[in-house]
Structure 1
Amino acid sequence: MRNLDSIPLCEIEVGMSASYSQTITDADIMLYAGISGDHNPIHLNDAYAEKSRFGKRIAHGMISSSFFSALFGTRIPGHGCVYASQTLQFKYPVYIGDTVTATVTVKHIDTEKRKLLFDTVCTVGRKKVITGEAEIYIPINNET
């Protein structure tokens, strides 16, 4: 019986994509600071951030980039996959109240090694705020 939360390797094609959107809140930033230990005032302190080049607090870049993991684990390829690598280029800041849309798109399939290469992009509106590539490994048990 096929796992409905996974796509078997044999059904994945170059160009397939999935997206996830979430609005960044102050609570997200506070929780991430607590989990990560990153208490940089650019993320947490209004007075400090107002004097920065950004003019106000910005979200940790890794919050938005973590949405890629959500897509890999629940959409393409789905349950059981393993993150092998990720590159990230942070192009623009993400602010509290911004809605970030993460999109992953299959770029290359290596069936022999059971690895997929994805283009990864986060946008706010039409602006690309994060770009990169990810490599995902699909275990053999993903075929059922």
Structure 2
Amino acid sequence: MKFLNPENRIGKTIEELSEGDSISLTETIEDNQLLLYLGLSNDANPLFIQHDFSQKTEYGRPIVPTILLMGTISSAISKHLPGAGSNIVNFSFNLIKPVYHYETLTYHFEVIQIDKMKDVVTLSVTAENFEDERVLDSVVMVRPPKLVQMIEDSQ
């Protein structure tokens, strides 16, 4: 028997995770990320890109789309905790303060629950801006990667 795609690194399986496992990552929101999101989603909300429009709103300047922030969380889960092969099955997101273009956010990820019966781990995610103000809270349920064995052909 051999493992499917043995050359690819796989993230931590549910057996390798423990409650309290954590990582912190810092990301800066750049123009290229915003433009890619707006182009891919066809989201034409002027609040996200037009300075003259957003100056007339309560925000005073363009804000980062919530989905882009959720994508940053999803990416970190796929890359780091649990890692490659993970699949998000539930995502709860609370935006506390608006996030503006070019802000640098520090995200904190922590495993807060492991349910081996359901094969799911729950992560708490928070993020602070450069002024140490909390801007978001999230709870994400993730199915960690699972190694699947294949039977070799006998040819």
TM-score norm. by structure 1 comes to 0.89
2:38 to 29, 33, 36: 33
Amino acid at match of 2:140: A
Q: Name the SS for the 2:53 alignment partner.
A: helix
2:13 to 2, 5, 8: 8
Determine if contact 1:119/1:132 at 8 Å carries over to the other structure: yes
Matched residue, 1:120: 125
Deviations 1:34-92 (A, max 9, x none): 11121111111110011111111111122122121112111111111111010011111
Q: How large is the RMSD of aligned CA atoms in angstroms?
A: 2.1
Say whether 1:80 aligns with 2:59. no
Determine if contact 2:29/2:104 at 8 Å carries over to the other structure: yes
1:93 to 92, 95, 98: 98
Matched positions, count? 143
Deviations 1:91-125 (A, max 9, x none): 11111110122222101001122100111112213
Structure 2 unmatched ranges of 5 or more:
1-5, 149-155
Say whether 1:137 aligns with 2:143. yes
Identity %: 23
Amino acid at match of 2:138: G
**Shift of residue 5, structure 1, vs aligned partner:** 4.6
Whole-Å Cα distance in 2 between the matches of residues 140 and 24 of structure 1?
Answer: 32
Whole-Å Cα distance in 2 between the matches of residues 117 and 52 of structure 1?
Answer: 36
Whole-Å Cα distance in 2 between the matches of residues 33 and 41 of structure 1?
Answer: 10
Amino acid at match of 2:81: I
Amino acid at match of 1:56: R
Whole-Å Cα distance in 1 between the matches of residues 46 and 115 of structure 2?
Answer: 43
* Farther off after superposition, 24-33 or 40-49: 24-33
- Greater helix fraction, Structure 1 or Structure 2: 1
Whole-Å Cα distance in 2 between the matches of residues 28 and 39 of structure 1?
Answer: 15
Distance 1:17 1:3, change over 3 A: farther
Amino acid at match of 2:105: V
Q: Name the SS for the 1:140 alignment partner.
A: coil
TM-score norm. by structure 2 comes to 0.83
The runs of at least 4 consecutive aligned structure 1 residues that moved more than 3 Å come to 1-5
Distance 1:3 1:76, change over 3 A: farther
Whole-Å Cα distance in 2 between the matches of residues 10 and 27 of structure 1?
Answer: 38
